[in-house]
Amino acid sequence: MRTVTLEEPGRLSLGDSALPGKPSLEEAVVRVLRVGICGTDIHAFRGEQPYFSYPRILGHELGVEIADIGPNAAGLKVGDLCAVEPYLDCGRCIACRQGKTNCCVNLKVLGVHTDGGMREFITLPTRKLHRSERLTPDQLALVETLGIGAHAVARARLQAGEFVLVIGAGPIGQGVINFAQLAGARVIVIDVSEERLEFARQRGVENTLQGKDDPLSRVKEITEGNLATAVFDATGNAGSMSKAFDYVAHAGRLVLVGLIQGNVTFSDPDFHRKEMAILSSRNATGADFARILRLLESGKIDPTVWTTHRASSASFVEEFPRWIEPGAGLVKGLIEF
Of 39-43, 104-108, 110-114, 173-177, the one with minimum mean pLDDT is: 39-43
Which residues contact residue 87 at a Cβ distance below 8 angstroms, ignoring those fewer than 6 apart?
Answer: 101, 102, 104, 107, 109, 110, 128, 283, 284
User: Is a pLDDT exceeding 80 seen at residue 6?
Assistant: yes
Handedness of CA 162, 147, 100, 50 (dihedral sign): negative
Residues 297-317: what's their mean pLDDT?
94
State how beta strands 81-84 and 163-167 pair.
unpaired
Q: How far is 256 from 179, CA to CA, in rounded Å?
A: 16
What's the sign of the alpha-carbon dihedral 157, 163, 168, 171?
positive
DSSP state of 132: -
pTM of the model: 0.94
Rounded average pLDDT over 182-190: 98
Q: Note the pLDDT of residue 50.
A: 74
Sign of torsion, CA 289 293 295 300? positive
What is the chain's length? 337
Question: What mean pLDDT is predicted for residues 230-241?
Answer: 96
pLDDT (mean) for 195-209: 94
pLDDT score of 17 more than 90: no
pLDDT mean over 95-116: 97
User: In percent, how much of the chain has pLDDT > 70?
Assistant: 100
Q: Are 99 and 121 in contact (CB under 8 A)?
A: no
- The per-residue pLDDT for 261 is 83
Helices H, strands E: what count in the chain?
Answer: 11, 17
Q: 205-232: per-residue pLDDT in tens?
A: 999 999 988 899 999 999 999 999 999 9
pLDDT tens-digit map of 43-89: 999 998 877 899 999 999 999 999 999 999 999 999 999 999 999 99
* Domain annotation for the chain: domains and CATH numbers: 2-141+302-336 (3.90.180.10), 149-280 (3.40.50.720)
Q: Where are the beta strands (DSSP E) in 141-247?
A: 163-167, 186-191, 207-210, 228-233
Neighbours of 184 (CB within 10 A): 12
